[in-house]
Amino acid sequence: MKARIKMPSLTTQILIATIGGIVFGSLVGPWAGNLKFIGDIFIRLIQMSVVLLIMTAVSAALGNVDGKGAGKMSFHMFKWIIGFTVVSAFMGLALGLIIQPGAGITVVPEDYIAAPVEVASMSQTLLNFVPTNVITSMAEGAMIPSILFAIFFGIAMGGYTRTTNNRIVLDFIVGFNAVIMNIIKIVMRVAPIGIFCLLANVSGTIGFAVVIPMFKFLLALGIGCIILIVVYCLFVATLCQVNPLKMPKKFAKMSIMAVTTTSSAICLPVKMEDTVVKFGVSRKVTDFTGPITMTMNSSGAVMCYVIAILFMSQSTGIYLSPAQLAMAILLSILMCMGTIVVPGGMVIVYTFLASSMGLPLESIAILIGIDWFSGMFRTFLNVNVDVLVGMLVSKKLGDYDPDVYNELKTVEYGPMAT
């Protein structure tokens, strides 16, 4: 009887695809760009279910807890989101002032940059968070309006269920969420192929011509990510009373996904499953915090925004006063509330920040040119901190399971309990 060949784990397959894509793209050059459409198909297969996954997970999580429980969970989640975001923003400020990423860099001609977008006022920005038509918001992939509707829907559904003892709507949403999760799991089987093609295109068409002049910018992001993830992991491990040395292995799969896809939305299914089965966070907390932290918790992004503002300032010779630096931090934090979580959204973000700070737009082209590389650092920190927030919330609510974290007990991320 022939022995069955054991397939490597998905993490191993993704790692092999990562290395293979970079090597292949470097060897064949621009021709590798022909493979980009395959990677784009993989991205779209994930994107087609993300909005539904987020809305059903949030609605079901809220529908399964009473009003007091949802409020307590929300309070602790946003408390840690704000804390991590503020610390990350000041780390970006410190690194930007020390490393001076924009010093000595010659920006491209002004006519290379498109006209700046119109910057909405703070009141208009907040108003846009409230959908006039949730179907339109879903179709456009507008995460915050969709999540806001899902929160109201979940709270109302929970109230209806408790009042009438009729679980038909809740059971439907829970079942629908399970079906969407199965779709995501099917799509993830081709993740190595998609990632190989995406990286082959990047290494074959972009190359390192744009990266070299921006090495200090990427270096600042890299140093910041390392410092913050070490500090945050030690902090969370201490509060949750677990061994921080086990975290790197547990973060491996989602970190590779984050670095290769540069999208928190695409990492969401893997992140939510690993949060439960590897880190010991309850399914209830994971389904509530996972989608919301994906949109609202952007520790890596806020650090990148602050460094980008300093880069634009330094590369154009414009001095920013302490008051303007404070405004840069505030704007960066507010932008994290509406960050576009799929690749490509940084074009609008950089333009918004430059226009808001009164900085010339010339240097944005360089930032956009290496956005894929900076996106690796942003998404890496974003995704990992999302899990840490879930651990802290679960610990505070008293349903954290350290036995799962310590691999003394195994659980599955199966259909949601009702």
342 in any annotated domain: yes
Residue 361 has pLDDT above 80, yes or no: no
412 in any annotated domain: no
User: Which among 393, 418, 193, 214 has a CA at the least distance from the CA of 312?
Assistant: 214
Residue 323, C-beta contacts closer than 8 angstroms, at least 6 positions apart: none
Task: Please state whether the predicted TM-score (pTM) of the whole model is above 0.85.
Answer: no
Give residue 110's pLDDT band: very low, low, confident or very high (50, 70, 90).
Answer: very low
Residue 371, C-beta contacts closer than 8 angstroms, at least 6 positions apart: 346, 347
Q: Cβ(190)–Cβ(18) under 8 Å?
A: no
Predicted confidence (pLDDT) per residue in 274-323, tens digit: 999 999 898 888 888 888 788 778 888 899 999 999 988 887 777 888 87
72 in any annotated domain: no
Q: What are phi and psi of 121, to 5 degrees?
A: -70, 170
User: How high is the pLDDT of residue 337?
Assistant: 57
Check residue 407 and give left, alpha or beta (phi > 0: left; psi -120 to 50: alpha).
left
Distance, in Å, from the CA atom of 368 to the CA atom of 370, rounded to the nearest integer, reads: 5
- Choose the weakest-confidence range: 12-16, 133-137, 377-381: 12-16
Residue 403 has pLDDT above 60, yes or no: yes
Q: How many domains does the chain have?
A: 1
Which of the 8 DSSP states describes residue 113?
S
416 in any annotated domain: no
Residue 106 has pLDDT above 60, yes or no: no
- Considering only the C-alpha atoms of the chain, give the largest distance between any 2 of them, rounded to a whole number of Å: 75
1 in any annotated domain: no
Q: Give the domain extent around 313.
A: 17-65+79-402
CA distances in angstroms from 384 to 82, 217, 270, 291, listed in the order given: 15, 21, 11, 13
CA distances in angstroms from 70 to 59, 77, 131, 158, 333, listed in the order given: 11, 10, 22, 10, 24
User: Which among 304, 309, 305, 314 has a CA at the least distance from the CA of 106?
Assistant: 314
Neighbours of 410 (CB within 10 A): 8
10 in any annotated domain: no
198 in any annotated domain: yes
Helices (H) and strands (E) in the chain, counts: 18, 0
Of the chain, the percentage scoring pLDDT greater than 90 comes to 18
Q: Cβ(147)–Cβ(54) under 8 Å?
A: yes
3-state SS, residue 410 = coil
- Residue 195: both structure tokens together: 């990632």
129 in any annotated domain: yes
* HSE-CB for 313 with a 13 A CA cutoff: 20
Average pLDDT over residues 234-249: 92
Rounded to the nearest angstrom, the gap between the alpha carbon of residue 68 and the centroid of all alpha carbons in its chain is 28
User: How high is the pLDDT of residue 229?
Assistant: 94
User: Which among 295, 378, 386 has a CA at the least distance from the CA of 340?
Assistant: 295
CATH number (domain holding residue 333): 1.10.3860.10
Average pLDDT over residues 244-269: 86
Q: Which amino acid is at 282?
A: S
Average pLDDT over residues 10-39: 80
Residues 402, 407, 410: CA angle, nearest 5 degrees:
95
Predicted confidence (pLDDT) per residue in 48-60, tens digit: 877 787 788 778 8
